[in-house]
Amino acid sequence: AQKVTQAQTEISVVEKEDVTLDCVYETRDTTYYLFWYKQPPSGELVFLIRRNSFDEQNEISGRYSWNFQKSTSSFNFTITASQVVDSAVYFCALSPNDYKLSFGAGTTVTVRA
Amino acid sequence: DAGITQSPRHKVTETGTPVTLRCHQTENHRYMYWYRQDPGHGLRLIHYSYGVKDTDKGEVSDGYSVSRSKTEDFLLTLESATSSQTSVYFCAISEPTRGGRNTEAFFGQGTRLTVV
């Protein structure tokens, strides 16, 4: 069975602060994929990143960065210099090679001006 | 944006009535999914399809059925709606790479269903 844990339910920061979202996963599969999605207040789900289990390189995209550590089964997400537009619910998801996604419960990020 | 349309976007229905939600895609993706989103649970998979007439259950399939008679359409039916099925329903699509690797799923706008 697959399981994704996002222990942080809500995070509130002031604009320009950095914020790190934790994601811990469980799977018995040796090949799997990890994802992050953003759900802004408007409700749609926006894909942010995909990472496969055999690529542990960290990735940076603008103010976003991801730290994948297989040894601790974690795939953490950092927003640098947060902005009000980053306020959203962020979901971590896991998929073994059967194309189904298992989502964490989500972390609500509120960025205050 | 991926071409995914969910209909209706909002629906209020009475307990015990049947309800059908429609997902239509224009991307010709092989995989289609129905998820429900509830506070504290994230998104949970109800059913998915890996081709025309090929469907399988997800983790919360009880009380739901699906059908896929064409590549572009995936229907979710609540045979007899209950209040516990009040939720936001999302359709998603994905297409594996040629090597069979997983790719990201793209989601529709969601359908807010209220069962009273």
Which residue is closest to B30 within chain A, CA to CA?
A: A99
- The stretch A69-98 carries a mean pLDDT of 94
Residue A30: its H or E element? none
**Residue B48 near chain A (CB below 8 Å):** yes
Cβ-contact A108, A61 below 8 angstroms = no
Beta-carbon contacts of B106 under 8 Å, excluding residues fewer than 6 positions away, are: A47, B1, B2, B4, B27, B92, B93, B94
pLDDT band at A62 (very low <50, low <70, confident <90, very high): very high
**Token representation of residue A74:** 């974690």
Q: What is the pLDDT along chain B (116 residues), one digit of tens a residue?
A: 569 999 999 999 999 999 999 999 999 999 999 999 998 889 999 999 999 999 999 999 999 999 999 999 999 999 999 999 999 999 999 988 777 677 889 999 999 999 99
Smallest CA–CA distance, residue A98 to chain B, in Å, is 8
Of A52, A97, A106, nearest to B42 by CB-CB distance is A106
Chain A residues with CB-CB distance to B42 below 8 A = 4, 6, 91, 103-106
Cβ neighbourhood burial of A74 (10 Å; 0-12, 13-18, 19+): middle
- The stretch A43-71 carries a mean pLDDT of 90
**Residue B58 near chain A (CB below 8 Å):** yes
Cβ-contact A61, A46 below 8 angstroms = no
Chain B residues with CB-CB distance to A91 below 8 A = 42-43
